[in-house]
């Protein structure tokens, strides 16, 4: 690997001149040509470590997620990457697959790999662990989707309880009295909040909460798929099901259709995420639409503000979700 000295030697100028040229400074016409040629001839690239050491930053940020294959996170990442790119930052993604050890380990790595900032969707980290790991870490962190109780930093969330309350109310308004809910792991923040909305809606409608209609499992296709049979086996099966995650929704629908169930006649479904996909169905499946683009935009802005020196109090934004079939 050629260094800046090699280039300087070949171009016949000083290293500091090369550096200036690289960083957009003005150099004499003839020098510019010589430098450009030398750089090309030697395939010179500035060493990122030397540069990072000198400059104290990298123009890169990390995004740490539980699951990068979920369309919701995919959209958030795409939006953030684009916006950060406009400010000349690159995004590096890491996911921990709902594994506590990995979550800790990846967070730790992210904090010591040289990125300038981090966007993090936590799953299973306590406030103590978080504080211990991030104390004096030197980079700004923005939480998305989930919050860590007791940690007071920038965060972008959605109003899980409210929107689920509304969604379940729509099912109630259609006359459903037995509404099941299939959620993610009980320990996860979003699952908890969504459960709260569900319970409040039932309670406000004077409906007794039935344990058998609540299924909690991993946020995946299999959970949704298996729930279909589990619910049908009940002596008194639900007439509607609220699925609180995209994969769960798809799994449930796949199973229901296979069993010849018509939606919504035989079983009504209210899903979550991936509006494009669900609105394509016939009839369109009503889903909770998280403002993924806005989440990405807000998180990117919060992070950029911090990167540019903003040092005010933490900002926590809770964005509204929409129901896909409402205008």
The binding site for a copy of itself (CB under 8 A) comprises 1-2, 42-43, 45-53, 58, 60, 62, 68-71, 74, 77-78, 85, 90-95, 97, 105-106, 109, 111-114, 135-138, 221-222, 225, 250-251, 254-255, 257-259, 276-277, 280-282
Integer CA distances (angstroms), 71 to 15, 82, 120, 130, 132, in order? 47, 16, 17, 26, 31
- Cβ proximity to DNA: between 112 and 177 the closer is 112
- Cβ proximity to a copy of itself: between 58 and 183 the closer is 58
22 counts as binding DNA under rule CB under 7 A: yes
- Cβ proximity to DNA: between 29 and 236 the closer is 29
Alpha carbon distance 227, 248 (integer Å): 9
Among 40, 55, 234, 280, binds DNA (CB under 7 A): 55
Task: Pick one of DNA, a copy of itself, none as the site partner of residue 133 (Cβ within 5 to 8 A by kind).
Answer: none
- Which is it for strands 240-243 and 268-272: parallel, antiparallel or unpaired? parallel
Q: In angstroms, how far is the first alpha carbon of the chain from the final one?
A: 58
Considering the complex, what minimum distance in angstroms separates the CB of residue 48 from DNA? 8
- Which is it for strands 90-95 and 214-216: parallel, antiparallel or unpaired? unpaired
Other CB atoms within a 10 A radius of the CB of residue 149 amount to 7
19 counts as binding DNA under rule CB under 7 A: yes
16 counts as binding DNA under rule CB under 7 A: yes
- Which stretch, 12-20, 138-146, 199-207, 245-253, contacts DNA (CB under 7 A)? 12-20
Closest listed residue to residue 125, CA positions, set 142, 141, 149: 149
Considering the complex, what minimum distance in angstroms separates the CB of residue 44 from DNA? 7
- Cβ proximity to DNA: between 69 and 112 the closer is 112
Q: What are the start-end ranges of the H helices in 205-266?
A: 221-232, 246-258
Considering the complex, what minimum distance in angstroms separates the CB of residue 180 from a copy of itself? 19
Among 54, 233, 235, 262, binds DNA (CB under 7 A): 54
Q: Are 216 and 184 in contact (CB under 8 A)?
A: yes
Task: Pick one of a copy of itself, DNA, none as the site partner of residue 257 (Cβ within 5 to 8 A by kind).
Answer: a copy of itself
The two tokens of residue 297 are 């935009």
Radius of gyration of the chain (CA): 25
The two tokens of residue 182 are 């299939």
Closest listed residue to residue 46, CA positions, set 6, 9, 12: 6
Rounded-to-10 torsion of CA 17, 18, 20, 24: 140
108 counts as binding DNA under rule CB under 7 A: no
DSSP single-letter state for residue 213: G
- Cβ proximity to a copy of itself: between 108 and 318 the closer is 108
Task: Pick one of a copy of itself, DNA, none as the site partner of residue 60 (Cβ within 5 to 8 A by kind).
Answer: a copy of itself
Task: Pick one of a copy of itself, DNA, none as the site partner of residue 5 (Cβ within 5 to 8 A by kind).
Answer: DNA
26 counts as binding DNA under rule CB under 7 A: yes
DSSP single-letter state for residue 211: G
Alpha carbon distance 234, 9 (integer Å): 81
Could you tell me how many residues of this chain bind DNA (CB under 7 A)?
A: 29
Contact footprint for DNA (CB under 7 A):
1, 3-5, 12-20, 22-23, 25-28, 31, 44-47, 50-51, 53-55
């Amino acid at each position: 690997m050629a260094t800046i000295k090699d280039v300087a030697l070949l171009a016949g100028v000083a290293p500091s001149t090369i550096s200036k040229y690289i960083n957009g400074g003005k150099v004499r016409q003839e020098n510019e040509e010589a430098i450009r040629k030398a750089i090309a001839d030697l395939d010179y690239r500035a060493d990122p470590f030397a540069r990072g050491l000198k400059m104290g930053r990298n123009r890169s940020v990390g995004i740490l997620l539980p699951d990068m294959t979920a369309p919701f996170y995919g959209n958030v990442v795409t939006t953030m990457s684009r916006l950060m790119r406009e400010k000349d930052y690159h995004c590096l993604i890491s996911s921990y697959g709902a594994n506590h050890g990995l979550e800790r380990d990846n967070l730790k790595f992210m904090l010591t790999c040289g990125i300038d900032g981090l966007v993090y969707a936590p799953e299973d980290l306590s406030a103590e662990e978080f504080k211990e790991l991030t104390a004096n870490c030197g980079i700004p962190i923005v939480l998305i989707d989930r919050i860590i109780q007791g940690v007071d930093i920038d965060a972008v969330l959605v109003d899980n309880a409210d929107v689920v309350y509304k969604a379940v109310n729509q099912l109630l308004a259609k006359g459903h009295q037995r509404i099941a809910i299939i959620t993610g792991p009980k320990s996860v923040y979003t699952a908890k909040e969504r459960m709260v909305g569900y319970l409040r809606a039932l309670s406000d409608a004077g409906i007794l909460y039935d344990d058998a209609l609540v299924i909690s499992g991993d946020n995946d296709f299999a959970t949704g798929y298996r729930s279909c049979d589990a619910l049908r086996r009940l002596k008194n099966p639900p007439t509607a099901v609220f699925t609180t995650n995209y994969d769960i929704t798809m799994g449930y629908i796949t199973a229901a259709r296979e069993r010849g169930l018509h939606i919504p006649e035989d079983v009504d479904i209210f899903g979550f995420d991936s509006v494009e996909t669900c609105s394509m169905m016939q009839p369109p499946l009503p889903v909770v639409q998280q403002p993924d683009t806005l989440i990405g935009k807000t998180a990117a802005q919060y992070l950029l503000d911090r990167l540019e020196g903003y040092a005010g109090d933490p900002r926590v934004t809770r964005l509204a979700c929409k129901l896909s079939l409402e205008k």
